[in-house]
Amino acid sequence: MTPTPNDYVLALDQGTSSSRAILFDHAGNVVRIAQREFRQYYPQPGHVEHDPYEIWQSQLAVAHAVLNDAGVSATQIRAIGITNQRETAVLWDRKTGEPVGRALVWQDRRTAPMCEALQAEGHEALFRNKTGLVIDAYFSGTKLRWMLDNYDDARARAQRGELAFGTVDSWLIWQLTDGARHVTDVSNAARTMLFNIHTFEWDDALLSLLDIPRSLLPEVVPSSGEVARTAPRLFGTQIPIAGIAGDQQAATFGQACLSPGMAKNTYGTGCFLLMNTGTQPVTSHNRLLTTIGWQLGGAPGARTTQYCLEGGVFMGGATIQWLRDGLQIIESAPEVEPLARQCDDTGGVVLVPAFAGLGAPHWDAFARGTLVGLTRGTGRPHIARAALEAIALQSVDVLTAMQKDSGIALAELRVDGGASRSDLLMQMQADLLGTPVVRPRVTETTALGAAYLAGLATGYWSDEAELASQWQVEHRFEPNLSADARAAQLARWHRAVDRSRDWAREDNA
């Protein structure tokens, strides 16, 4: 069906701290955005939880709000694309749709001892070879095991086939279809530690090792392809759900990183860097993740799968939230840049924001936040600047490993996410990386990627070449730091990282 000026694609962007709905037109432009934050639960140190119902209600509310605000009827929506916080685990009752307990968020570290035990038992290579992942509490497989072992009667109910597990995309689709569809796409399945990225199936050996019944798991579908239609009562009509991708894979697709060697960094609550490595997985020798980027639909034998290398920084924008809510040296996130500009450098201060451990390439669940180099002359501006530098420096570590693994020298880094709007941070990133940083005109690339996947499946867009033609540069940041100054700053950063390592291990002994 040929698109008309009155047709749109709706992206549901379910993030860690808020649910958003974004309406896109055929040119890939944002027509309208609606957003609603929801509560974060921290029952004890290292535990992070969400209320699954609040996620669903907030997502449905913004979907209605964006249509109402834009004056658009549901009948004008050609397709819905869903993108989501990936490793967050939800367990619910198949009959009632009620959650068994709160969702365990990707940031949650309660299963770190379980992961350490799996490593000690020698299972690291098994997981790496089948899933492309390291064994870490970040992923949802051990979270599901914990739920089965700790929520009342959960394991017995699971064995009777009464429960369903899913990442947030599965939970939303279940709700959007009134329980008619229990699915996830390959990009989300690839983040569970339970899915074989070579055979595209749930892996029986891994399920057995973690003692997880297969009956809990959703059907795995392509990232682009109509998989369901919304229940008529929700929008007054049935809208095709035709795109699903984890948030970082969606952002990579939305950034038009469609060829091997192209890379992006999303500066959200965390920072997530992905490099397209083509149709074959690349094994990492530097503790990065090998993951499925996306899979375009069609007959099973004709589906196209793209793989990526990925590294995640746990504390990106969340570091700025800590300045606001923890230290209370700013009242709102936008204040951090003008505060940091009050000094030319950090005065030797280095912040390692390992509040939830360190992600790639260190993978230290027991690292903790460290602020070093303080003197009597240290003030709020130095700490603010050190926080911004920490975001950029963590990303440099990941990108350095990524270039070693892929054998590809990065020509440029495409950026998106809320913090990418900070010119100071983006210049810091270019300087510390020694590579140009490019910010696109449309920075809502996570939602745009979900929209693109849905629109391709329904004929709203014709092919990937059309999508790539829509990508436009808004600003290009060129590095202007000398190689010697860059090396000195990176060396100081790595000294600080060493001091943060393994700090909390005695608490888990």
Token look-up 């693109």 returns 452
Which pTM does this prediction carry?
0.87
Q: What is the pLDDT confidence band of residue 406, given thresholds at 50, 70 and 90?
A: confident
Smallest Cα–Cα separation from 343: which of 387, 405, 397?
A: 387
pLDDT computed for residue 2 by the predictor: 61
CA 171 to chain centre: 16
Instruction: Say whether pLDDT at 507 is over 60.
Output: no
Taking residues 144-156, what's their average pLDDT? 95
pLDDT computed for residue 509 by the predictor: 46
Helix (H) or strand (E) holding 199: none
Q: How many CB atoms lie within 10 A of CB 436?
A: 16
Q: What is the pLDDT of residues 153-162, one digit of tens each?
A: 999 999 999 9
Contact yes or no for 214/204 (Cβ under 8 A) = yes
Contact yes or no for 94/179 (Cβ under 8 A) = yes
How far is it, in rounded angstroms, from Cα 231 to Cα 341?
Answer: 51
pLDDT computed for residue 286 by the predictor: 86
Instruction: Say whether pLDDT at 353 is over 50.
Output: yes
Percent with pLDDT over 70 in the chain: 97
**SS3 breakdown of the chain: % helix, strand, coil, rounded to 5?**
40, 25, 35
Binding site per annotation, positions for glycerol: 86-87, 138, 247-248
Helix (H, G, I), strand (E, B) or coil at 46: coil
Q: What is the pLDDT confidence band of residue 482, given thresholds at 50, 70 and 90?
A: very high
How far is it, in rounded angstroms, from Cα 218 to Cα 229?
Answer: 17
Rounded to 5 degrees, φ, ψ at 297 are -75, -175
Q: What is the pLDDT confidence band of residue 365, given thresholds at 50, 70 and 90?
A: confident
Which residues lie across from 19 on neighbouring strands?
14, 36
Task: Read off the tokens for 200.
Answer: 């595209």
Question: Please, which residues have CB within 8 angstroms of residue 101's CB and are 6 or more apart in sequence?
Answer: 91, 147, 151, 154
Task: Read off the tokens for 465.
Answer: 């070449």
Which residues lie across from 244 on neighbouring strands?
82
Taking residues 342-368, what's their average pLDDT? 91
Helix (H) or strand (E) holding 254: helix 247-254
pLDDT computed for residue 287 by the predictor: 84
pLDDT computed for residue 417 by the predictor: 85
Instruction: Say whether pLDDT at 222 is over 90.
Output: yes
Task: Read off the tokens for 398.
Answer: 């990941």
How far is it, in rounded angstroms, from Cα 392 to Cα 268?
Answer: 13
How far is it, in rounded angstroms, from Cα 491 to Cα 479?
Answer: 18
How far is it, in rounded angstroms, from Cα 91 to Cα 77?
Answer: 30
Instruction: Say whether pLDDT at 275 is over 50.
Output: yes
Q: What is the pLDDT of residues 284-308, one digit of tens each?
A: 888 899 999 999 987 666 678 999 9
Binding site per annotation, positions for ADP: 16, 20, 269, 317, 418
pLDDT computed for residue 310 by the predictor: 92
Contact yes or no for 124/116 (Cβ under 8 A) = no
Helix (H, G, I), strand (E, B) or coil at 237: coil
How far is it, in rounded angstroms, from Cα 433 to Cα 480?
Answer: 10
Smallest Cα–Cα separation from 396: which of 487, 305, 298, 293?
A: 487
Instruction: Please give the C-alpha separations between residue 445 and each of 106, 130, 422, 439, in angstroms, as whole numbers.
Output: 21, 29, 16, 11
Token look-up 């503790």 returns 287
Smallest Cα–Cα separation from 186: which of 308, 22, 271?
A: 308
Contact yes or no for 297/455 (Cβ under 8 A) = no
Binding site per annotation, positions for ATP: 16-18, 269, 317, 321, 418
Token look-up 């970040």 returns 138
Question: Please, which residues have CB within 8 angstroms of residue 21's CB and are 6 or more apart in sequence?
Answer: 10, 11, 12, 13, 33, 34, 35, 59, 62, 63, 65, 66
Question: Please, which residues have CB within 8 angstroms of residue 324's CB and are 6 or more apart in sequence?
Answer: 330, 331, 332, 333
How far is it, in rounded angstroms, from Cα 275 to Cα 436?
Answer: 15
How far is it, in rounded angstroms, from Cα 151 to Cα 255?
Answer: 40
Helix (H, G, I), strand (E, B) or coil at 469: helix
Helix (H) or strand (E) holding 187: helix 186-189
Q: 77-84 and 8-14 as β-strands: parallel, antiparallel, unpaired?
A: parallel
How far is it, in rounded angstroms, from Cα 472 to Cα 463?
Answer: 17
Binding site per annotation, positions: 16-18, 20, 86-87, 138, 247-248, 269, 317, 321, 418
Smallest Cα–Cα separation from 498: which of 338, 387, 372?
A: 372
Smallest Cα–Cα separation from 493: which of 394, 367, 399?
A: 394
Q: What is the pLDDT of residues 102-120, one digit of tens each?
A: 999 998 999 999 999 999 9
How far is it, in rounded angstroms, from Cα 246 to Cα 210?
Answer: 23
Smallest Cα–Cα separation from 151: which of 217, 91, 214, 218?
A: 91
Of 37-41, 302-306, 391-395, the least confident = 302-306
Instruction: Please give the C-alpha separations between residue 315 and each of 323, 456, 501, in angstroms, as whole numbers.
Output: 12, 33, 15
How far is it, in rounded angstroms, from Cα 496 to Cα 346?
Answer: 14
Binding site per annotation, positions for sn-glycerol 3-phosphate: 16, 86-87, 138, 247
Helix (H, G, I), strand (E, B) or coil at 467: helix
Helix (H, G, I), strand (E, B) or coil at 325: helix
